[in-house]
Amino acid sequence: MRANARRGARWLAGVWAVAVVLAAVVMAGPAQAAPAPFLHSSVAWTHSTVIVAAMNTAGDLYYWWQPDGTTTWNQELVAAGQDKWAEPSIAWTGSAVIIADTDSGGQVDYYYQTAGTRTWHEQRVAAAPKNFLYGQPTISWTGSTVIIAAEYESESGSGNAATSPTALDYWYQYAGTGTWHQQQVATGIGYTSAEPSIGWDGQHRDHHRH
């Protein structure tokens, strides 16, 4: 994720996606622009509001929302000092906005904000093993449980597909609790830029790697 060799295409794709989404933030409402360019963003829908999370080059994680039928974007700083190359993932539980992200130490963090409040709560989901770093996390909601997946690779082997061991980890937290449960889905060789994706079909958790 931090290797120069694999940043180019992902950076360009991320900049374009963010430019499309965040152009509305600058043009449509009073939300103030963040102090640095954005690299990656994620968008979701709450059934009444568009919600966006994005990471800028300063490592600041921002959140915006726009109620349906309005043209005003509202902006909040969720956290500073994150990994600027991280790609945050955002979702809605029915009563809270939830975001998964990676900090500057390659650890997976979780943020949530209960509907009707302006307070962000942070939890550390997992720290990668020594000399390893987590890549892009993905987050979803099952109706009763928050679910997150992320892949990690050797820090020293980062950027070398032939020598960089990886593992895909999965965490879940039941609603109303503060405990994260961890499982290892798979191990192998490759990049953390595989960008896992997670979802819920009503009965089983679905994991995909791209």
Task: Check residue 33 and give its pLDDT.
Answer: 58
| SS3 (DSSP) at 37 | coil
* Each residue's pLDDT tens digit, 97-152: 999 999 888 899 999 999 999 999 999 999 988 888 898 899 999 999 999 999 98
Q: Calculate mean pLDDT across residues 63-76.
A: 96
Q: Which of 136, 119, 9 is nearest to 85 (CA)?
A: 136
The side-by-side arrangement of strands in the sheet containing 89-92 is: 89-92, 96-102, 108-114, 121-126
pLDDT for residue 67 is more than 90: yes
The runs of H, that is alpha helices, within the chain are: 7-28
Tell the burial category of 185 from Cβ atoms under 10 Å away from its Cβ (0-12, 13-18, 19+). Answer: middle
Residue 79: what residue type? Answer: A
Looking at per-residue pLDDT, the higher value among 162 and 97 belongs to 97
Work out the pLDDT band at 25, boundaries 50, 70, 90: very low
**Which tokens hold the place of 1?**
């994720």
Work out the pLDDT band at 89, boundaries 50, 70, 90: very high
| SS3 (DSSP) at 50 | strand
- DSSP result, 115-127: TT----EEEEEE-
pLDDT for residue 10 is more than 90: no
- DSSP result, 78-90: EESSB-TT---EE
Residues in the chain: 210
For the chain, the average pLDDT equals 80
Q: Calculate mean pLDDT across residues 180-190.
A: 86
Highest mean pLDDT among 21-35, 80-94, 136-150: 136-150
Looking at per-residue pLDDT, the higher value among 157 and 151 belongs to 151
11 vs 83: CA distance, rounded Å: 14
pLDDT for residue 11 is more than 70: no
Work out the pLDDT band at 39, boundaries 50, 70, 90: confident
